[in-house]
Amino acid sequence: MRPESIRKYRPFPAVSLPDRTWPDQTLIEAPRWCSVDLRDGNQSLPIPMSVEEKIEMFDLLVRVGFKEIEVGFPSASETEFHFLRRLIEENRIPEDVTVQVLVQAREHLIKRSFEALRGAKQAIVHLYNSTSPLQRKVTFHDASKEEIKKIAVEGTKLVKSMVAEIPETKITLQYSPESFSDTELGFSLEVCEAVMKEWGATSQNPIILNLPATVEWFTPNVHADQIEWFCRQISQRDAVVISLHTHNDRGTGVAATELGLMAGADRVEGTLFGNGERTGNLDIVVVALNMNSHGVATGLDFSDLTSIREVYERTTRMTVPDRQPYSGELVFTAFSGSHQDAIKKGLDRRAQERGATSEGVPWGVPYLTIDPEDVGRSYEAIIRINSQSGKGGVAYILDREHGFNLPKAMHPLVGQKIYGEADEQGRELSSDEVGAAFKAHFVNLETPLKLGEYLIKQQSPGQMTSVAKLFRGEESIEIEGTGNGPINALVEALEKEGLKDFHLQDYRSHAVQHGSCADAAAYVQLKSDDGKLVWGVGVDPSIELAGVKALVSAWNLLH
Ligand code: KIV
Ligand code: ZN
Say whether pLDDT at 383 is over 70: no
Q: Is 302 strand, coil or helix?
A: coil
Strands 68-72 vs 170-178: parallel, antiparallel or unpaired: unpaired
Tell how far CA 497 is from the center of its chain.
Answer: 60
Which of 496, 482, 480, 494 has the alpha carbon at shortest distance from 524? 494
Do 129 and 220 belong to one domain?
Answer: yes
Tell how far CA 314 is from the center of its chain.
Answer: 17
Say whether pLDDT at 515 is over 80: no
* Domain-located, residue 281: yes
pLDDT tens column, 360-378: 899 999 999 999 999 999 7
pLDDT tens column, 322-361: 999 999 999 998 877 778 788 888 988 998 998 888 778 9
pLDDT tens column, 114-127: 999 999 999 999 99
pLDDT tens column, 452-466: 999 998 888 888 999
Q: 145 near 132, Cβ under 8 Å? A: no
CATH number where 469 lies: 3.30.160.270
DSSP state of 169: S
Say whether pLDDT at 388 is over 80: no
Q: Which residues pair with 482 in a beta bridge?
A: 465
* Domain-located, residue 15: no
Q: How many CB atoms sit inside 10 A of residue 238's CB?
A: 10
What separation in Å is there between the alpha carbon of 130 and the centre of ligand 1?
Answer: 9
Listed residues 406, 423, 442: the one ending a domain: 442
Say whether pLDDT at 416 is over 50: yes
Q: Kindly state the average pLDDT of the residues 17-29.
A: 98
Tell how far CA 514 is from the center of its chain.
Answer: 27
Which of 388, 384, 416 has the alpha carbon at shortest distance from 397? 384
Cα gap 70→157, rounded to integer Å: 22
Q: What are phi and psi of 227, to 5 degrees?
A: -70, -45
Q: Which atom of ligand 1 lies nearest, measured to the CA of 36?
A: 8
Say whether pLDDT at 80 is over 80: yes
Listed residues 418, 442, 466: the one ending a domain: 442
User: Is cis: bond before 206, omega within 30 of 0?
Assistant: no
DSSP notation for 406-460: --GGGHHHHHHHHHHHHHHHTS-B-HHHHHHHHHHHHBS--SSEEEEEEEEEEEE
Which H or E run contains 552? helix 543-558
Listed residues 442, 466, 493: the one ending a domain: 442
Q: How many CB atoms sit inside 10 A of residue 168's CB?
A: 9
* Domain-located, residue 84: yes
Which residue puts its alpha carbon closest to atom 3 of ligand 1? 214
* Domain-located, residue 327: no
Q: Which ligand has the shortest distance to the CA of 209?
A: 1
Confidence of residue 431 (pLDDT cuts 50, 70, 90): confident
Say whether pLDDT at 516 is over 90: no
Say whether pLDDT at 309 is over 50: yes
Radius of gyration of the chain measured on its C-alpha atoms:
34
* Domain-located, residue 187: yes
Do 468 and 553 belong to one domain?
Answer: yes
As a whole number of Å, the end-to-end CA separation of the chain is 63
Q: Kindly state the average pLDDT of the residues 411-440.
A: 90
As for how many domains the chain has, the answer is 3
* Domain-located, residue 25: no
Do 294 and 347 belong to one domain?
Answer: no
Q: Would you state the pLDDT for residue 422? A: 84
Sign of CA dihedral 542, 436, 366, 295: negative
Say whether pLDDT at 391 is over 80: no
Q: Among 195, 245, 246, 279, which residue has the most ligand 1 atoms within 8 Å of its CB, making it the best to mutate?
A: 245
Cα gap 257→224, rounded to integer Å: 8
Do 306 and 404 belong to one domain?
Answer: no
Instruction: State which residues form the domain around 476.
Output: 449-558
Which of 155, 154, 152, 131 has the alpha carbon at shortest distance from 143? 131
pLDDT tens column, 180-213: 999 999 999 999 999 999 999 999 999 999 999 9
Do 112 and 165 belong to one domain?
Answer: yes
DSSP notation for 20-56: --GGG----S--EEEE-IIIIIHHT-SSPPPHHHHHH
Q: Which residues pair with 271 in a beta bridge?
A: 283
What separation in Å is there between the alpha carbon of 132 and the centre of ligand 2?
Answer: 15
Do 151 and 232 belong to one domain?
Answer: yes
Do 141 and 237 belong to one domain?
Answer: yes
Does residue 178's CB lie within 6 angstroms of at least one atom of ligand 1? yes
Do 123 and 215 belong to one domain?
Answer: yes
3-state per-residue secondary structure call for 175-220: EEEECHHHCCHHHHHHHHHHHHHHHCCCCCCCEEEEEEECCCCCCH
DSSP notation for 129-190: EE-SHHHHHHTTTS--HHHHHHHHHHHHHHHHHHHTTSTTSEEEEEEEEETGGGS-HHHHHH
Cα gap 132→151, rounded to integer Å: 14
CATH number where 205 lies: 3.20.20.70
Do 81 and 216 belong to one domain?
Answer: yes
Q: 143 near 94, Cβ under 8 Å? A: no
Q: Which ligand has the shortest distance to the CA of 73?
A: 1
Sign of CA dihedral 343, 349, 354, 355: positive
Q: Which ligand has the shortest distance to the CA of 210?
A: 1
What separation in Å is there between the alpha carbon of 281 and the centre of ligand 1?
Answer: 9
* Domain-located, residue 430: yes
* Helices (H), ranges, 446-531: 486-496
Which residue puts its alpha carbon closest to atom 8 of ligand 1? 40
Q: 521 near 537, Cβ under 8 Å? A: yes
Q: Would you state the pLDDT for residue 378? A: 72
Do 397 and 459 belong to one domain?
Answer: no
* Domain-located, residue 6: no
Do 248 and 308 belong to one domain?
Answer: yes
Does residue 176's CB lie within 6 angstroms of at least one atom of ligand 1? yes
Do 373 and 468 belong to one domain?
Answer: no
Cα gap 57→4, rounded to integer Å: 46
Does residue 214's CB lie within 6 angstroms of at least one atom of ligand 1? yes
What separation in Å is there between the alpha carbon of 166 and the centre of ligand 2?
Answer: 28
Q: Would you state the pLDDT for residue 381? A: 46
Q: Which residues pair with 450 in a beta bridge?
A: 471
Does residue 40's CB lie within 6 angstroms of at least one atom of ligand 1? yes
pTM for the full model? Answer: 0.79
